Amino acid sequence: MRLSSLGFLLHEAWLNIRRNGLMSLATLGTVTVALTVLGASLWTIFRLSEYAQFQPRRFDRIDLFLLPDVSRERAETLRDQIAHLPGVARVRLIPREQAWADLQASEPLLTEALEENPLPDKLEVEVRDIAQIQAIAHNFRDQTAYPDVERVVDAGEAVRVMLGLARVVKVVGGSASAGLFIATLFLVYNTIRLTVFARRREIRTMQLVGATPGFIRLPLLLEGLFHGVVGALLASGILLLCAREVSRFVASLRSPLIGDVPSLLSPWHVPAVLVALGALIGLVGSYLAIRRFLRPI
């Protein structure tokens, strides 16, 4: 294809968009709404999944409260011994004095009522795999192996429920995302098909004056690409604005479950992903619609 022909086809695509103003606007509106819904759903599902994956990590610690008569040296030996166990990531010894100071700082009224420090030394054990936490905690409850440990505290059942929840979110979210993507593709395809259908007589005329299928197809594909990309940019703008408001609201909730969960997704990933999806949906939608009306005659 000559460069002048390519320039003409680009110009042609732009003219079609401009001169079919109402139809272009309708297509753009549909694409924007569809991609906003898709983007919002994907983003929500992704964040939910991140929250669900993160929650058990809040409970990846087993607290071992030692008997009051266990010496500091004995406690340090026990700490080193536990640190070498398989599945244990880290062990920290919290001396009773430090625990008391922390408690005094956080709960002054409560500590004022007590005459002396009732807290024992404590070992905080972090596990490598959250799924193994119950098995490891169970070992610490064996009085023969750990006679110095008075009490073992772990998240137990809560962790199991949260791990299950994370799995459900992953599976349901993944399926919902795939379903939504297909639904969006069909919606956009149908809208583009309507615009192509409205111009089927033009397509026939073009064929009869000797235009090759490529010459007819390229401007229509470029129009689909334009609608997909511009619709995605508009959807991204809407999503980013909404996300800012939602973040503010969520931050104001002060729920223990909604802490500062780090995300792999930065706000700039949203337009990038949506524009890629929009371009893909626009191109595939146009291609399928054109194929329907560009049969050789």
Closer to other proteins at the Cβ: 27 or 184? 27
Of 128-136, 143-151, 203-211, 253-261, the segment contacting other proteins by CB under 8 A is 203-211
Is residue 86 near other proteins by the rule CB under 8 A?
no
Which residue(s) pair with 125 in the sheet? 62, 91
Are 136 and 127 in contact, with CB atoms under 8 Å apart?
yes
Closer to other proteins at the Cβ: 139 or 207? 207
CB of 209 to other proteins, least distance (A): 5
CB of 289 to other proteins, least distance (A): 18
Of 3-11, 38-46, 88-96, 113-121, the segment contacting other proteins by CB under 8 A is 3-11
Q: How far is CA 119 from CA 68, 96, 98, 109, in A?
A: 8, 6, 10, 16
How many Cα atoms within 13 Å fall on the side-chain side of residue 113?
Answer: 3
Is residue 15 near other proteins by the rule CB under 8 A?
yes
Of 95-103, 122-130, 197-205, 276-284, the segment contacting other proteins by CB under 8 A is 197-205
Question: Where do the DSSP E strands lie in the chain?
Answer: 61-66, 88-94, 122-127, 149-153
Of 30-38, 45-53, 62-70, 204-212, the segment contacting other proteins by CB under 8 A is 204-212
- Indicate which single residue of 20, 41, 132, 190 sits in contact with other proteins (rule: CB under 8 A): 20
Is residue 181 near other proteins by the rule CB under 8 A?
no
How is residue 120 annotated by DSSP?
Answer: P
Q: Which two tokens stand for residue 41?
A: 């759903």
Total Cβ atoms within 10 A of residue 275:
19
Q: Which amino acid, residue 75?
A: A
Closer to other proteins at the Cβ: 275 or 294? 294
Closer to other proteins at the Cβ: 162 or 192? 192
Q: Which two tokens stand for residue 292?
A: 């329907």
- Indicate which single residue of 10, 107, 202, 265 sits in contact with other proteins (rule: CB under 8 A): 202
CB of 20 to other proteins, least distance (A): 6
Nearest-5° angle of CA 105, CA 111, CA 114? 160
Are 239 and 37 in contact, with CB atoms under 8 Å apart?
no
Number of shown-chain residues binding other proteins (CB under 8 A): 23
> In whole angstroms, what is the distance from residue 180 CA to residue 277 CA?
12
Q: Which of 114, 110, 113, 138 is nearest to 125 (CA)?
A: 138
Are 220 and 23 in contact, with CB atoms under 8 Å apart?
no
Of 59-67, 88-96, 148-156, 201-209, the segment contacting other proteins by CB under 8 A is 201-209
- Indicate which single residue of 131, 178, 211, 272 sits in contact with other proteins (rule: CB under 8 A): 211
Closer to other proteins at the Cβ: 3 or 253? 3
The residues that touch other proteins, with contacts defined as CB under 8 A, are 2, 4-5, 8, 15-16, 19-20, 201-202, 204-213, 215, 296-297
